[in-house]
């Protein structure tokens, strides 16, 4: 009986932690201690009084904070103050930037699905939808991406059209002449253009992302806004923003661009200003920019502004024609012909009024940058990536339907099905993540931690889908020319991977490095209390943190043992409810193992980049799966469950595998064993999707299935005269009519009614045997000619080939 009581008491105690019922914990803790002592041979009365004494002492400590602090917390405070590194002002500014949204739910270990489902759904306003259906559609029609590649620039008429239709003023308010689009509207525009031309998409997205317009909107003076924003909205001024330099890539704080406060005579008057020396590179739109935003470190050696000499990172605006500025040369980023190049300046003098925000902007440049990136990084490159993924789905679903080998559409071969399923699944998951994040931004969030996930993992998704699409298209994918649909987007993959914080850095340092502090329910509050010598605050949050750890321990253990049968949650689970339960478990494990890692590694965790990277993987896959569930909740997309199931299974496998790898890398073998038994007692619980599910997902984008349309709804579809996607779409439409006729011919061949296997001879024999009608024969011949054009690739005369770019 004592053992049974021990098991019952432990189960009740774990259940109290699981349900986060603090009052019940002391009751069941007393029962557990009494049972444990009884099992160990302590007499019943003694065990009872010891259990009562320990529980009573715990209750006294809970309800007598003065005693608790003097006995325990104050001593822990002194130890923690010595162990934990101090936050620099730069780190504090980065941590304070943006808001905590669903990332907080993941770090809590107990996500609120009802709250997520109540959050705003992705939607465009009437004006935004009209713009996408009108000017964006017209712009895509004007774009010939192969010709842009050869001309190394957008056509003059395209530049004029974009200016006239205010493509450079998407996010600028209407009072300044802009379109005042939401994040969702901005994203929808970039996504669609990216399906037609990466060069055009980059050209549109940069003025509406981090740069002069965005910084002026949030930090500029009224005078600056009235002066610059109308010109930016109309395209009279083309902006760029110069941040990166040879010495400072991902580490922007290491920049060697300096400004020195000086007084100079300008037109006979003494003017307080700044002498700038800088060397910047990789600056998009720099070769064509007329208004340059510049980040630099400001110094005041003569104390003209005040007592401080080092005034910090500052942002200012420079006109293109200013003396001392060197601009106009071009880089060639992977051959994708958007304007990008270096900017140098030597003794460039600007008045203090050129600082964004004027004097109030001095030294606030770093805050401006990290706050703007908190939201902006979630929009531009992720939208471009989703456009590429949707294009891959559109192209591969059609091509794998009409392209045959061994009398079978290639989409029916299992090796190709694997590619198709991954393309379709990633496209659904990526687009769901884009939509949910944009809707959150439109709802007032600035998700600084999640923006890193969205940027890094959606650009990685672009890499995966385009790699798979290139493999599927095979020879047709590697021959450049007007008929190649994918090659130019494929060339742009490293650009998205690298800019706005390289993915290596973002994954290994930023997502979890910031999230572990910023998104954790208590850690930042504890660190702030330590920094400010607030012992009362530390006492309050430290004990909540301890309760948080044990709660997630209980949830991890109980869910880890029951996740397959769903005993704790539901009966007859659907795809959605089962997925939520899996993610509940993963969030609990993530939060629990994260706290264990923080306790184990301490301040050195920031240097454990492989550990941090795996936590970022787990966190990000949980977020991507959650976004897929949110899209399923919000959108009316019938028959999408197989794709949703594939997404959730893939994400859960990847997340759990990353967490187990971190457990297996804990330095102490005893702690490693204990944590593994508590967090994942049955090992890796989630497998990659089964072959049957893979086949079902692949089929969802074949044969003109409506789900292919849903997954690629933002792709620009040119007319049938277009030699690339337009011709492919026309062939797919004809295939719906011709393939059933061809199937009759193949059946007839198997039955011995005809002998020819391919082409014109098969059609002739089918006609003679009255298996097909003359009209059907004409349709087959027309389709075969079109199919021949579709599978054809470009070739060039030697003289022309030598001129290709």
Q: Are 500 and 491 in contact (CB under 8 A)?
A: no
Torsion of CA 132, 133, 139, 142, to 10 degrees: 160
- What CA–CA distance (Å, rounded) separates 31 from 17? 15
Label residue 351 exposed, middle or buried (CB < 10 Å: 0-12, 13-18, 19+).
Answer: middle
CA count, 13 A, side-chain hemisphere, 585: 28
- Which among 383, 391, 384 is positioned nearest to 465, based on CA atoms? 391
Q: Are 780 and 741 in contact (CB under 8 A)?
A: yes
In tens, the pLDDT along 598-610 reads 989 887 887 899 9
Q: Are 190 and 384 in contact (CB under 8 A)?
A: yes
Residue 18 φ then ψ, to 5°? -60, -45
CA distances from 286 to 244, 339, 659, 749 (A): 12, 7, 43, 64
Torsion of CA 54, 58, 60, 61, to 10 degrees: 140
Strands in 363-472 per DSSP E:
404-405, 408-409
> Which tokens belong to 423?
């393309």
- What CA–CA distance (Å, rounded) separates 763 from 371? 66
Q: Which residues are catalytic?
A: 500
**Which of 219-255 are b and which e, b meaning 16 or more Cβ less than 10 Å from the residue's Cβ?**
bbbeebbeebbbbbbbbebbbbbbbbbeebbeebeeb
Label residue 676 exposed, middle or buried (CB < 10 Å: 0-12, 13-18, 19+).
Answer: middle
> Which tokens belong to 776?
């059907």
Strand partners, 294: 242, 316
- What CA–CA distance (Å, rounded) separates 118 from 252? 38
Angle, vertex CA 199, rays to CA 195 and CA 200, nearest 5:
70
Name every residue whose Cβ is closer than 8 Å to that of residue 247 and which is 6 or more positions away in sequence.
254, 255, 256
Residue 643, classed as helix, strand or coil, is helix
Residue 779 φ then ψ, to 5°? -65, -40
- Which among 5, 414, 518, 438 is positioned nearest to 190, based on CA atoms? 438
In this predicted structure, what is the pLDDT of residue 247?
84
In this predicted structure, what is the pLDDT of residue 83?
65
> Which tokens belong to 287?
């070769």
In this predicted structure, what is the pLDDT of residue 34?
47
- Which among 586, 623, 549 is positioned nearest to 102, based on CA atoms? 623
Task: Classify residue 508 by its DSSP letter.
Answer: I
Angle, vertex CA 795, rays to CA 791 and CA 801, nearest 5:
150
The CB-based long-range contact list for 32-35 (8 Å cut-off, 24+ gap) reads 32/6, 34/9, 35/2, 35/5, 35/6, 35/8, 35/9, 35/10
Strand partners, 340: 284
Mean pLDDT, consecutive 10-residue stretches, the chain (805 aa), reads 57 63 60 54 56 56 68 81 69 80 96 95 97 98 96 96 97 96 97 98 93 93 96 96 85 84 89 95 96 96 91 95 95 95 96 95 90 85 98 98 91 96 98 97 93 96 98 95 96 93 90 90 89 87 88 88 53 73 95 93 86 97 97 90 95 97 94 92 90 96 94 96 95 93 89 86 88 91 93 94 92
Interhelix angle 609-634/575-601, rounded to 10 degrees, is: 160
- What CA–CA distance (Å, rounded) separates 20 from 9? 16
How many residues does this entry show for the chain? 805
Torsion of CA 614, 616, 621, 626, to 10 degrees: 150
In this predicted structure, what is the pLDDT of residue 61?
54
- Which among 457, 507, 514 is positioned nearest to 610, based on CA atoms? 507
Predicted structure pTM score: 0.92
- What CA–CA distance (Å, rounded) separates 446 from 438? 10
In tens, the pLDDT along 647-672 reads 999 999 999 999 999 999 999 999 99
H-run or E-run covering 263:
strand 258-266
In tens, the pLDDT along 670-679 reads 999 999 999 9
Residue 271 φ then ψ, to 5°? -120, 130
- What CA–CA distance (Å, rounded) separates 109 from 16? 15
């Amino acid at each position: 009986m004592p053992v049974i009581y021990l098991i019952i008491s432990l189960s009740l105690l774990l259940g109290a932690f699981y349900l986060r019922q603090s009052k019940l914990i002391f009751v069941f803790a007393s029962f557990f201690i009494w049972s444990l002592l009884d099992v160990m041979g302590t007499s019943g009365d003694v065990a009872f009084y010891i259990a009562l004494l320990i529980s009573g002492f715990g209750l006294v400590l809970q309800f007598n904070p003065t005693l608790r602090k003097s006995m325990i917390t104050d001593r822990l405070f002194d130890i923690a103050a010595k162990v934990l590194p101090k936050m620099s002002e730069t780190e504090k500014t980065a941590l304070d930037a943006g808001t905590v949204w669903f990332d907080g739910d993941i770090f809590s270990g107990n996500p609120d699905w009802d709250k997520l489902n109540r959050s705003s759904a992705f939607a465009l306003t009437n004006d935004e939808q009209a713009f996408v259906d009108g000017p964006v559609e017209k712009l895509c029609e004007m774009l010939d991406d192969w010709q842009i590649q050869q001309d190394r620039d957008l056509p003059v008429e395209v530049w004029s059209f974009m200016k006239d239709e205010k493509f450079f003023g998407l996010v600028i308010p209407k009072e300044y002449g802009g379109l005042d689009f939401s994040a969702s509207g901005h994203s929808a525009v970039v996504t669609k253009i990216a399906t037609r031309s990466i060069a055009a998409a980059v050209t549109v997205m940069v003025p509406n992302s981090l740069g002069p317009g965005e910084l002026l909107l949030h930090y500029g003076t009224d005078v600056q806004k009235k002066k610059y924003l109308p010109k930016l909205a109309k395209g009279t001024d083309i902006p760029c923003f110069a941040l990166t330099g040879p010495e400072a890539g991902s580490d922007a704080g290491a920049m060697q661009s300096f400004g020195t406060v000086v007084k100079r005579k300008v037109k006979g008057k003494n003017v307080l200003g700044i002498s700038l020396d800088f060397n910047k590179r990789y600056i998009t739109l720099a070769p064509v920019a007329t208004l340059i935003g510049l980040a630099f470190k400001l110094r005041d050696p003569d104390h003209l502004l005040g007592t401080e000499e080092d005034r910090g990172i500052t942002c200012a605006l420079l006109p293109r024609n200013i003396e001392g500025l060197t601009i106009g040369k071009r880089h060639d980023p992977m051959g994708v012909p958007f304007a990008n190049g270096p900017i140098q300046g030597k003794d460039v003098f600007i008045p203090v009024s050129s600082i964004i925000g004027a004097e109030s902007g001095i030294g606030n440049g770093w805050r401006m940058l990290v706050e703007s990136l908190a939201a902006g990084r979630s929009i531009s490159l992720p939208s471009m990536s989703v456009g590429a993924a949707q294009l891959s789905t559109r192209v591969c679903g059609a091509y794998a339907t009409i392209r045959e080998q061994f009398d079978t559409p290639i989409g029916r071969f299992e090796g190709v099905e694997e590619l198709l399923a991954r393309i379709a699944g990633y496209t659904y998951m990526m687009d769901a993540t884009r939509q949910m994040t944009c809707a959150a931004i439109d709802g007032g969030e600035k998700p600084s931690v999640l923006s890193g996930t969205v940027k890094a993992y959606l650009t990685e998704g672009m890499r995966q889908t385009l790699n798979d699409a290139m493999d599927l298209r095979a020879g047709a994918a590697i021959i450049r020319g007007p008929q190649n649909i994918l090659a130019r987007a494929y060339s742009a993959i490293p650009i998205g991977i690298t800019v706005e914080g390289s993915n290596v850095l973002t994954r290994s340092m930023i997502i979890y490095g910031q999230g572990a502090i910023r998104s954790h329910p208590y850690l930042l509050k504890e660190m702030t209390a330590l920094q400010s010598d607030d012992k009362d605050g530390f006492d309050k949050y430290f004990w909540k943190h301890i309760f948080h750890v044990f709660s997630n321990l209980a949830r991890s253990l109980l869910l880890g043992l029951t996740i397959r049968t769903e005993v704790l949650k539901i009966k007859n689970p659907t795809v959605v409810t089962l997925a939520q339960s899996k993610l509940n478990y993963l969030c609990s494990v993530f939060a629990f193992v994260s706290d264990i890692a923080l306790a184990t590694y301490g301040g050195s965790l920031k240097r454990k980049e492989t550990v941090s990277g795996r936590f970022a993987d787990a966190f990000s896959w949980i977020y991507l799966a959650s976004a897929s569930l949110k899209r399923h909740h919000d959108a009316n997309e019938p028959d999408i469950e197989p794709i949703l199931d594939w997404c959730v299974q893939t994400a859960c496998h990847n997340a759990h595998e990353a967490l187990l790898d971190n457990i297996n890398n804990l330095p102490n073998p005893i702690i490693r064993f204990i944590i593994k038994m508590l967090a994942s007692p049955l090992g890796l619980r989630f497998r990659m999707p089964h072959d049957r599910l893979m086949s079902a997902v692949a089929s969802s984008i074949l044969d003109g299935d409506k789900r292919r349309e849903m997954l690629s709804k933002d792709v620009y579809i040119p007319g049938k005269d277009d030699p690339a996607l337009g011709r492919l779409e026309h062939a797919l439409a004809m295939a719906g009519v011709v393939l059933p006729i061809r199937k009759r011919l193949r059946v007839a061949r198997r039955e011995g009614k005809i002998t020819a296997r391919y082409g014109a001879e098969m059609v002739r024999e089918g006609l003679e045997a009255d298996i097909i009608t003359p009209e059907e024969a004409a349709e087959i011949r027309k389709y075969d000619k079109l199919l021949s054009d579709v599978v054809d690739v470009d070739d060039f005369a030697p003289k022309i080939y030598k001129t290709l770019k």
